[in-house]
Structure 1
């Protein structure tokens, strides 16, 4: 089976390589899986607080397809609630990027869901709406948060996030804002601050074109696989002399013609033998 890598995401995939991704959580998901970029999403874990899981696997919007992502599975499930946290283990000091992944599958309009995001006790984002001028219902949205961990403290924009890093764990909080409940579909922690935010913006701005290019590439790869398995003959390859006749005779039509010919030949022999018997009997009667 061919693993389909989408060429339009080469730069983004390099940014989110196996080496740079420290951890990825499929929020609400019950099993691990590999993303198209090549890193592993772990099943939901490290959460606490007042929350529950929703599974949208068979939702009509999911069936039609999640926009702005080539790893839609992470958006099939979510964790939501009035107030909950993720405490993610990070063992080393350094710069990191938190990528929070969202999709709105319930509300239709911007602002119908608004919530706050915290690191420790510091509010990083206030009244986030998943739906905005570029993201509609069913569009994957990623929020990039750049932090630095040093001396057992976490900093955002050079300001300390109090209680944001305790006992080697980074604490990310989701709290009620101006409307409804907070939710999250996926969390990815990336080493460094080169996590592909600009590439993601480019993907959103050119989504339809990239989608069409990748459909064509997928069709080409599938055809190449069939050719490699000798299931179809490439257009550019001419059959060798005699190969066409053999292929025809071995086809269902060819086999049918052979069987029909054998039946006719047998009938002719049988008819001829009956005529000879009649003649012998006639001669004896004389």
Structure 2
């Protein structure tokens, strides 16, 4: 009951603090690797089927993998969105429509369903020729089977694109299609990939970044509470098991017969053998702890007494004879 109340309180707090993503702010939302649209169950966003990507790419659809579908992806309520992806043996890119001047936020969604260790799949993200996010390692950031969303804010003005405190991006605009070139660059650690892409008009403050962070906190806090509850239950079960074993290990009926019979029963049981074995070990330890020097002195003293004892007896006999003569 305690856990359920805490979970309810955490859910209410997170719902109040979270800001959902406004539909009118969305420029494009892509379900990468999917051939059909997907409507989010959490915020109602409709992700279109995958498009706007460059050639020489491949898709992976894990919705046909029963073992993957049985597993839960952390930090998201949209499980299916993270079970399709687009990847490539080399670098690949998307050209996203950016036609109006202003501030934008690019949300790149990832989830590692293949590797379970870090440093297996590592890639970088660029705007044109400018490095934006170096060495993305999904497992290192959140572990396997966990949603990892990257929020990148940039500004488009005067036919140039700027990010990170006004730094200009080189060759980041596709002038033919008025689009932002987002490249996923391979750096020698397996294949670059992406699961979904969302581009919104407005800065990170106008995005659902706080909602995503609240979801992560809520998920971790719930997992922690369940973990504590499970540990408490395991300790209770262990305590009960030890108590039951102790109660059944002693035959209390034997004590009702007589003290003598009770002692005999204990001595003939495994407890008696244990007591006897303990006494033997204790005696052996006392013997081993005896000082060798004192033992040697004691043996010499005994030997001296044995050698001198005949002389003492003869002297005693002579003394008695002399005393008798004097009396006579």
Is the 2:19–2:211 contact (alpha carbons within 8 Å) kept by the matching residues of 1? no
Shift in Å at residue 208 of structure 1?
5.0
Is the 1:121–1:163 contact (alpha carbons within 8 Å) kept by the matching residues of 2? yes
Is the 2:104–2:154 contact (alpha carbons within 8 Å) kept by the matching residues of 1? yes
Matched, 1:199 2:211: yes
In the other structure, the counterpart of 1:46 is 52
Q: Could you tell me the TM-score, scaled by structure 2's length?
A: 0.59
Mapping 1:36-115, distance limit 5 Å: 36-59=42-65, 60-81=67-88, 82-115=90-123
In the other structure, the counterpart of 1:180 is 190
In the other structure, the counterpart of 1:163 is 171
- C-alpha spacing 1:13/1:151, structure 2 compared with 1 (3 Å): same
Q: Could you tell me the TM-score, scaled by structure 1's length?
A: 0.67
5+ residue gaps, structure 2: 1-10, 225-328
> What is the alpha-carbon distance in structure 2 between the residues aligned to residue 86 and residue 147 of structure 1?
16
Tell me the alpha carbon deviations over residues 74-109 of structure 1, each in whole angstroms, 9 at most, x when there is no partner.
Answer: 111100011111001122111011000000000011
Shift in Å at residue 12 of structure 1?
4.2
Tell me the alpha carbon deviations over residues 195-227 of structure 1, each in whole angstroms, 9 at most, x when there is no partner.
Answer: 232332232122155699xxxxxxxxxxxxxxx
Tell me the alpha carbon deviations over residues 243-277 of structure 1, each in whole angstroms, 9 at most, x when there is no partner.
Answer: xxxxxxxxxxxxxxxxxxxxxxxxxxxxxxxxxxx
1:33 to 30, 33, 38: 38
Is the 1:68–1:204 contact (alpha carbons within 8 Å) kept by the matching residues of 2? yes
Shift in Å at residue 128 of structure 1?
0.7
Query: For this pair of structures, how many residues does the alignment match?
Result: 206
Answer with 1 or 2: which has the greater Rg.
2
In the other structure, the counterpart of 1:18 is 23
> What is the alpha-carbon distance in structure 1 between the residues aligned to residue 37 and residue 70 of structure 2?
21
5+ residue gaps, structure 1: 1-5, 213-286
> What is the alpha-carbon distance in structure 1 between the residues aligned to residue 15 and residue 222 of structure 2?
9
> What is the alpha-carbon distance in structure 1 between the residues aligned to residue 73 and residue 120 of structure 2?
20
> What is the alpha-carbon distance in structure 2 between the residues aligned to residue 116 and residue 141 of structure 1?
15
RMSD between aligned alpha carbons?
A: 2.2
> What is the alpha-carbon distance in structure 1 between the residues aligned to residue 98 and residue 113 of structure 2?
31
Mapping 1:115-264, distance limit 5 Å: 115-133=123-141, 135-157=142-164, 158-167=166-175, 168-193=178-203, 194=205, 195-207=207-219
Is the 2:109–2:196 contact (alpha carbons within 8 Å) kept by the matching residues of 1? yes
- C-alpha spacing 1:189/1:199, structure 2 compared with 1 (3 Å): same
Is the 1:127–1:178 contact (alpha carbons within 8 Å) kept by the matching residues of 2? no
Q: Which runs of 4+ in 1 moved over 4 A?
A: 6-13, 208-212
From the two aligned structures, give the one with the greater strand fraction. Answer: 1
SS in 2 for 1:29: coil
- C-alpha spacing 1:10/1:163, structure 2 compared with 1 (3 Å): farther
